[in-house]
A and B are shown apart, each in its own frame.
Chain A
Amino acid sequence: MNPLIPMIASTVLAATPLIYAALGETVVERSGVLNLGIEGMMLIGAVAGFAATRSSGSDAVGFLAAAAAGVALSLIFGFLTLNLQTNQVATGLALTLFGIGLSAFVGHNLAGLPVARLAPITIPGLTAIPVIGDLLFHYDIMVYLSVALFIGVQWFLTKSRAGLTLRAIGESPGVAHAIGKPVLTTRYLAVMFGGATAGIAGAYLSLVQTPMWVEGMSAGKGWIALALVVFGTWKPARVVIGAYLFGGVTQFQLFAQGFGLPIPTEFLSMLPYAATVVVLVIICRDPKTILLNQPASLGHSFHSAA
């Protein structure tokens, strides 16, 4: 087998949770809400998905439980920022700290237990094709669903009426409110959607990537997803490309080991974090890029007196 194929396969594996989390956050931010709590929601999703799959034996139940847990946590964020109009940055940080604590507390007895890895699906006829079958048709269902999610989000934001409303609210909630658009409801739904995808992203870590629960196992991936949204300038297609690029960066570790490069593993592990910083610098270097693409009301509370 071509040695490149397993590398591409593990790139996809690394990118998939980032795609879920970052696409969800893209929708949230396009509605004008900045939720910095992805890391916390991912961890809750990871532990909930793991526990549900272990007790039910079904991966579907696991991912649904993870999505539900993510939504539950996002509702706390929604209530505080949308109803009580708390500072979104601070509330998002609180959500992350709470999620880290809650997941460690709940998952205390689950650490180190095994669970069966979600198996790749076989597509009759396609998986058997040499090279292409290994390259494209040898993944678990969640990988294909992440592609579907991308198509759905892209269509929703650019082609649907509801997506147009959501973007209008993100740019100018006051105007949207004045013409009768439901600012609060839309933002709530967006925040819940972001919670669900972050939860699923977390479950992908604990059910597929490393099929077990480890405290703090997301290791900054929620924050990298946030950076991907900026990297993708709030456009789903670019966000997904960014996620695959990042997945590729994490594979450099295997590459270096394969070629026997004498680089300590710690430095290789730094790569995704360093790459995030570099990427942010490249995108933010020109203030106009951000000014033109960032939803105008991002991070600001909306209070209607009427």
Chain B
Amino acid sequence: MLRLERRATPSSTMSIASPLLAAAGMLVTGFLLFSALGKDPLEAFYLFFIKPLSSTYGIGELLLKTTPLLLCGLGLALGFRANVWNIGAEGQLTMGAIAGGGVALWFGDSDSSFAMPLMLLAGILGGMAWAAIPAFLRTRFNTNEILVTLMLVYIAQLMLSWLVHGPWRDPQGQNYPQSQGFGDAETMSVLINGTRVTWGIVYAVGLALIAWVFSEKTFAGFRMQVAGLAPAAAAYAGFSEKRNIWIALMLCGATAGLAGICEVAGPIGRLQQEISPGYGFAAIIVAWIGRLHPIGVVFGALLMSLLYLGGEAAQMGMGLPSAITGLFQGLLLFYLLAADLFIYFRLKRVGVVESPEPKPAIRVEGAV
């Protein structure tokens, strides 16, 4: 008989191996799913995971979709480390797009060199402002940030919808719910010729490095980690919980807001009703796959981006609904959570107990 037994110390090997196990589990399930749907699994895998990467344009698309996932994932990872459950990165992204896009529309077709820096700044501030609401409500009114951040996603999306249907609608846009296209100076320049990938990916990777230094080398980063791992110890050491919550939400608001403006000033080029296929939510999985570590998040974002591309390819190549991406994302997180069990526990063989008398001693443990 096998039994779970708590490890004396968490296994660092398993912590790295677990995302790989999860990816393997997802692939096996995908194999079965494709077979069950009557598709050739190998052909499906080729379409899903290889073909998108077989051209420069494809690599560009991969990096393009990696950008918002990485930016949001970084902010979320820093927050999750400190036990701050911000799940509304999608709303902060939307607000960043609205604020930055508003600046872009204000500049119109102007070729001012101030336009782009101001747009990026406005995007960051927009995301931060949106994240400040749950931070304030949690620190001042003790209100759970999970539900508040999520409700604010819907409110931000409706706000964007109102803007592009109403005041910011392009008068020459044949009544489409979208703004005017941004001018040349208000559009981010392409990084690699022949692709659509913008400078956004450079900012994102740069921020990943900064986030790494922040969380590993600064006192503020250390305080946040302690707050997540051992809240009682953090309180005893006098680390302010409120400050941690504010830092966590402000950082995520900033990165998600930047992701939003990078999307509308990059591949989209205008404000419109739909600006993200759920990047902010997928970034939750990215943060987890990346072990809440800024460098790990880079890999998590690349994998998630590939799932988006694969979903699109499967839709075009095999007539499968692109929702298969969401299915794989959910599966991946399930497998990851299950595999994470073995970071803290191990399976131990136990002999069959001869006497069925229950042991009197009972240990109760809370596992995270």
> B143-167 CB contact bits vs A (8 Å, 1 = yes)?
1101110111011001101100110
A304: contacting residue among B146, B150, B345, B364, CB under 8 A: B364
Residue pair A87, B368 in contact (C-beta under 8 Å): yes
Contacts of A76 in B (CB 8 A): 334
Residue pair A306, B147 in contact (C-beta under 8 Å): no
Contacts of A223 in B (CB 8 A): 147, 150-151
Residue pair A84, B137 in contact (C-beta under 8 Å): no
Distance between Cα atoms of A99 and B327 in the complex (Å):
8
Judge if B312 is at the interface, Cβ distance under 8 Å: no
B: contact size bracket: 35 or more
Q: Residues of A with Cβ closer than 8 Å to B?
A: 36, 40, 76, 80, 84-87, 89-91, 93-95, 97-102, 104-105, 108, 173-174, 177-178, 215, 219-220, 223, 226-227, 230, 264, 266-267, 269-270, 273-274, 276-277, 280-281, 284-287, 290, 300-306
Residue pair B143, A97 in contact (C-beta under 8 Å): no
**Listed A/B pairs (23) with beta-carbon separation below 8 Å:** A80-B334, A90-B288, A91-B334, A93-B284, A94-B333, A97-B326, A97-B329, A99-B330, A100-B330, A101-B327, A102-B326, A105-B327, A220-B151, A220-B154, A230-B147, A267-B158, A270-B155, A270-B159, A280-B147, A285-B143, A287-B142, A303-B6, A304-B364
Residue pair A306, B154 in contact (C-beta under 8 Å): no
Contacts of A286 in B (CB 8 A): 142
B330: contacting residue among A80, A84, A98, CB under 8 A: A98
Contacts of B165 in A (CB 8 A): 264, 266
Return A5 CB to nearest CB of chain B, in Å.
29
Judge if B237 is at the interface, Cβ distance under 8 Å: no
Return B161 CB to nearest CB of chain A, in Å.
5
Contacts of A87 in B (CB 8 A): 337, 368
A266: contacting residue among B161, B345, B368, CB under 8 A: B161
Contacts of B147 in A (CB 8 A): 223, 226-227, 230, 276-277, 280
The A contact surface, by secondary structure, is helix
Judge if B48 is at the interface, Cβ distance under 8 Å: no
A219: contacting residue among B154, B285, B340, CB under 8 A: B154
Contacts of A303 in B (CB 8 A): 4, 6, 363-367
Distance between Cα atoms of A273 and B87 in the complex (Å):
15
> B301-333 CB contact bits vs A (8 Å, 1 = yes)?
000000000000000000001011111111101
Residue pair B158, A97 in contact (C-beta under 8 Å): no
Judge if B359 is at the interface, Cβ distance under 8 Å: yes
Distance between Cα atoms of A230 and B142 in the complex (Å):
13
